[in-house]
A and B are shown apart, each in its own frame.
Chain A
Amino acid sequence: MDNQEAKLVLSAYRPGGEDATDPVFAEALEQARRDPELADWFAAQRRLDASMSKALQSCVPPADLRDRIVFNQNVVRISQPPAPERRVWSQPRFLFALAASIVLLLSIGLFYKSAEPALMTSRHFVENVVELNQSGQISLGRMGGGIGELRSWLAEQGSPSDFEIPPDLEAHGGIGCQTFTINGHQVSLVCFMLEKDRLVHFFVIDNEGIEHPPGLEPRFIRRNGHTAATWSAGGRTYVLTGKDIDEETLLRLI
């Protein structure tokens, strides 16, 4: 082994000494002990390696990354779509008013990251809407009037409006809607009331804004009492979510 070969091998010798017992390095290390020029080169390289390792250690992830990863573990899939059950609930006027009263201003800028629309993963989209739902900061831009009028209003806002609503969800009647922007992409929201002050929110975004949209089979995410189902169909990605709503309830709706 000449010095050139030794240097090639020693380039892969880790600065922490983890490879000290690896026989591949033994001959090159021995040569570095005997040859002063090689020894100088190796010492300089190890200094550089140590500095770069420390520099890399100084790069730390965002404080919430770990929590986001663990949260994502709750993503589950349903092996077989169950047979749907139809429920029809009455919708008292006062409950409609109650839903409408859960009104806080939605800061579009909260979710608006850049001037140009950017792709986001379906997971990102779901996270955003679940967090939005958890925050309770959803106001309804239009209330009442039936699904047809809600669609018209959404279209006027330039948001998705001709999307498919699962029949068992639509049977509950939409009580209001809203639009907002995530990553520069328009998102439509339709609010449905299942029963006494029990709401579900149905979010729709065009797949143009989604990198790797989910499949037709619904996926479920749970977080702090909120469960969300997401799927994609007809060029759009959907999320159905609500507080204290379990997966089986959502499944009956979609």
Chain B
Amino acid sequence: MTTPHTPIEHMDEEFFQVVVDRFYTDLYRFGMSLARNQDDACDLVQQTYAIFAEKAGQIREPSKAKQWLFTTLYREFTALYRRSKRSVSMDSDVYTLPEQSADSNAARQTEQQEMLEVLRSLEESHRTILTLFYLNQHSYKEIAGILEVPIGTVMSRLSRAKEALRGSMEKLNPGIKIIPFDSDKKKPNHG
């Protein structure tokens, strides 16, 4: 006699798909910034949602799901890539850009590609916090929650990361006019 069985997770399919539709693109962008290649980014996003499906009973609102998903993806990245010291590739085709035909669009696309390359060339802590910030999904408080660091650390890390970003962009394009954060004064030292 077979024991009757049902999925132990009673994830409402509609709710799950709402959460997928709302966040999977930004989760992928976050995953891309962390892993820097498409396959690993997709793995991270899928793994995050697989875990989410298992936690169905605990998370019932998309607003609560957001921070949970980003936190989980970051933890997964930390667990899978840092702990195992797995090398991550820097494939040249890691970003899939939308096709555009007009010259102005092509120029903008190239510029955006360069900016993304600058972003992914930064050290992990910088690109992590910058990506969370530039996704426009998260307040500094939420970023603090995702990265599990104090709020003050978020601000200081952001200012340092932006400084690093400006520096890298200046190297890429020496003609660009960038106003520095403040090179004369002492930089914040926490976080």
Which residues of A are at the interface with B, using a C-beta cutoff of 8 A? 3-4, 7-9, 11-12, 14-16, 18-19, 22, 24, 40-41, 44-45, 48-49, 51-56, 58-62, 65-66, 68-70, 72-73, 75-83, 85, 113, 119, 121, 123-124, 211, 247-248, 251-252
Q: Which residue of A lies closest to B50 (CB)?
A: A72
28 A-B pairs whose Cβ atoms sit less than 8 Å apart in the complex: A4-B182, A11-B158, A11-B159, A14-B136, A15-B134, A41-B179, A41-B181, A48-B162, A49-B134, A51-B115, A55-B112, A59-B32, A60-B25, A61-B28, A61-B41, A65-B45, A68-B46, A70-B20, A73-B13, A76-B9, A79-B5, A80-B5, A82-B1, A82-B5, A83-B3, A119-B86, A251-B2, A252-B2
Tell me, yes or no, whether B24 is within 8 Å of chain A by CB.
yes
Known: A56-B131, A58-B98, A121-B47. A4 touches B185 (CB 8 A): yes
Contact call A18/B139, Cβ cutoff below 8 A: yes
The tally of residues in B whose CB lies under 8 Å from a CB in A reads: 67
**A78, B101: Cα distance in complex, Å:** 51
**A247, B116: Cα distance in complex, Å:** 45
- Distance (Å) between the CB of B142 and the closest chain A CB? 11
Contact call A45/B179, Cβ cutoff below 8 A: yes
Q: Which residue of A lies closest to B21 (CB)?
A: A66
Q: Which residues of A contact B38 (CB under 8 A)?
A: 62
Which residues of B are at the interface with A, using a C-beta cutoff of 8 A? 1-3, 5-9, 11, 13, 16-17, 20-21, 24-25, 28-29, 32, 38-39, 41-43, 45-47, 49-50, 53, 80, 86, 95-98, 109, 111-113, 115-116, 119, 130-131, 133-136, 139-140, 143, 154-156, 158-159, 162, 165-166, 177-179, 181-182, 185, 188
Query: 8 extra interchain contacts, Cβ-Cβ under 8 A, other than A7-B182, A59-B96, A76-B8?
Result: A24-B140, A44-B178, A58-B95, A66-B21, A73-B13, A79-B8, A121-B47, A247-B5
Q: Which residues of A contact B24 (CB under 8 A)?
A: 61, 65-66, 69
Q: Which residues of A contact B166 (CB under 8 A)?
A: 48
Q: Which residues of B contact A18 (CB under 8 A)?
A: 136, 139
Contact call A58/B109, Cβ cutoff below 8 A: yes
Q: Which residues of A contact B113 (CB under 8 A)?
A: 55, 58
Contact call A72/B53, Cβ cutoff below 8 A: yes
Known: A60-B96, A72-B53. A52 touches B165 (CB 8 A): yes
Known: A3-B182, A18-B139. A58 touches B20 (CB 8 A): no
Q: Which residue of B lies closest to A78 (CB)?
A: B5
Contact call A12/B140, Cβ cutoff below 8 A: yes
Q: Which residues of B contact A123 (CB under 8 A)?
A: 46-47, 50
Q: Which residue of A lies closest to B56 (CB)?
A: A73
Which of B49, B98, B111, B185 has the most A CB atoms < 10 Å from its CB? B49
**A241, B5: Cα distance in complex, Å:** 18
**A121, B79: Cα distance in complex, Å:** 13
Contact call B25/A61, Cβ cutoff below 8 A: yes
Contact call B2/A12, Cβ cutoff below 8 A: no
Q: Which residue of A lies closest to B152 (CB)?
A: A8
Contact call B1/A60, Cβ cutoff below 8 A: no
Known: A14-B133, A247-B5. A55 touches B155 (CB 8 A): no
Q: Which residues of A contact B133 (CB under 8 A)?
A: 12, 14, 49
- Distance (Å) between the CB of B61 and the closest chain A CB? 18
Q: Which residue of B lies closest to A37 (CB)?
A: B179
**A178, B112: Cα distance in complex, Å:** 47
**A7, B7: Cα distance in complex, Å:** 51
